[in-house]
Copies of this chain bind each other. A is one copy, B any other.
Amino acid sequence: MGTPDHRHRVVVIGSGFGGLFSTQALRRDEVDVTLIARTSHHLFQPLLYQVATGILSEGEIAPSTREVLARQKNARVVLGEVTAIDLQARTVTHETMGRVTVTPYDTLIVAAGAGQSYFGNDQFARYAPGMKSIDDALELRGRIFGSFELAELASAPAETDRLMTFVVVGAGPTGVEMAGQIAELAHRTLKRDFRTIDPKTARIILLDAAPTVLGSFGRKLGGRARRRLEKMGVEVRLGAKVVDVDPTGIEVEHPDGTRNRIESVCKVWAAGVSASPLGASLANQSGAGLDRSGRIEVLDDLTLPGHPEVFVVGDMISLRDLPGVAQVAIQGGRYAAEQIRRRLAGTEPKGPFEYVDKGSMATISRFSAVASVGRVQFSGFIAWILWLAVHLVYIIGFKHRVTTLLHWSVSFLGRGRAERVVTEQQVFARQAIEALGERFQPHLPRVPEDRADNGTGQG
């Protein structure tokens, strides 16, 4: 496939599980890999909720992609946002802070992932951030800790109440983990930190339009997770569809058509995903189908119809109901690398992509999780130990594993949380909290010209 003047060029879009693992799988092959990603870090997304709730630092779940791939000589990392893919010309156009570059490929692996979906109500995003990026997690960290800070100063009981009511939308693994962690934070970590409010009285509400918690884990584990959450003080409300979100509350509709409003300043959206818009572009050019989440219908071997040189892996694909989990992306990335290797060697291609379900798990609190491995289901402490082991192994880079284990010891065995810093850059947190009512006058976000005053004053 390569032309005589250069090695086979593989371009990988995305530094998530699919992009990183396909690149690493090509480390011994006679190819030149260019990995183009919008952030300079790989993100261990399953632990984002721990950054949001002050347990881990950003660096612990987001190692530098460049550092991870430093010793892989045939890989080059480029920071940039892909703005176009041209299937005819076989080029990828990407932009880095205004600079536009066009990179040609012989084989393309698209692993651009998925973002949060608000099901057509994008205006909700401002008041209920998603949980997809480090920025999201730091934003939520600012809102969660900021709500307690403001509640400590609130004078009216109604104001205290809405500041101490946290709503998590979506009872999948991310929503369950967030609700559980906010409950632990309020009822345990912050127990002694305030003088006016009692954080133990905080309300944590987990909403879902579906009738079950952790639907994909089956009825039995979902029921256990629900009971455990309720024991921790989380109010679980199912069959509750969100119809409106504003600065100080959220409105839900029940199956019988009744609506009610929950007064809450800090809302978290963990309810839906929408594949990268690059999927739509690929579909347009190739004629492949697109499902309602924007995921592209790929062939059995993860290639685009009519374009065997283009693989799509991870959250962007719609294939035999594969779930949007890390393992699908990792295995897909490795499968694509193996196919490229066989093509270059001229050997028989692998058969259709077969996903090996290694199981799924979700933590509910420290020492308690649910896990489903094949037909075996675990819950409680055993599931939690399993969760701990699996997550430690997958966190990339030995050094992160050790510091992470330490931060976990602090959080699970002790009461503290080491990573509670909120910077002034969490302007959205301030805006959301400022929108509390008339008494809260808008406080303008810092503008660049203001930076001279930055450090003057207490701190």
Contact = CB atoms under 8 A, between A and B. Distances in A.
Contact of A57 (B410, B419, B452): B419
A278 B457 contact: yes
Contacts of A400: 418
Contacts of A456: 114-115, 274-277
A454 interface: yes
Contacts of A36: 458
Nearest to A129: B451
Nearest to A43: B459
A297 interface: no
B403 A132 contact: no
A135 B99 contact: no
Contact of A135 (B81, B402, B425, B439): B425
A115 B38 CA distance: 34
A5 interface: no
Contacts of A320: none
A234 interface: no
B406 A118 contact: no
A82 B399 contact: no
A97 B134 CA distance: 24
Interface stretch (A204-212, A350-358, A382-390, A441-449): A441-449
A19 interface: yes
Interface stretch (A61-69, A219-227, A252-260): A61-69
Given A419-B57, A451-B126, A458 B133 contact: no
A399 B81 CA distance: 38
A338 interface: no
A426 B428 contact: no
Nearest to A410: B399
A208 to B, nearest CB: 20
Interface in A94-135: 95-99, 101, 111-116, 118, 122-126, 129-130, 132-135
Interface stretch (A146-154, A284-292, A362-370): A146-154
B458 A135 contact: no
Interface size class of A (residues with CB under 8 A): 35 or more
Contacts of A16: 458-459
A334 interface: no
B425 A138 contact: yes
Contact of A38 (B82, B451, B459): B459
Interface stretch (A191-199, A235-243, A302-310): A191-199
A135 B454 contact: yes
Q: Which of A123, A153, A428, A455 has the most CB of B within 10 A?
A: A455
A283 to B, nearest CB: 15
Rank and list the top 10 A-B pairs by shortest CB-CB distance, nearest first. Answer: A132-B455, A115-B455, A115-B456, A14-B458, A57-B57, A122-B452, A59-B419, A112-B458, A58-B421, A98-B441
Interface of A: 13-16, 19, 36-41, 43, 54, 57-60, 62-64, 66-67, 70-71, 76-82, 95-99, 101, 111-116, 118, 122-126, 129-130, 132-136, 138, 145-146, 149-150, 152-153, 190, 192-196, 274-278, 397, 399-400, 402-403, 406-407, 410, 414, 416-428, 430-431, 433-434, 439-443, 448-449, 451-459
Given A59-B419, A400-B418, 5 more contacts: A41-B420, A97-B146, A97-B430, A113-B457, A130-B454
6 contacts: A64-B421, A81-B458, A98-B441, A114-B456, A135-B425, A136-B455
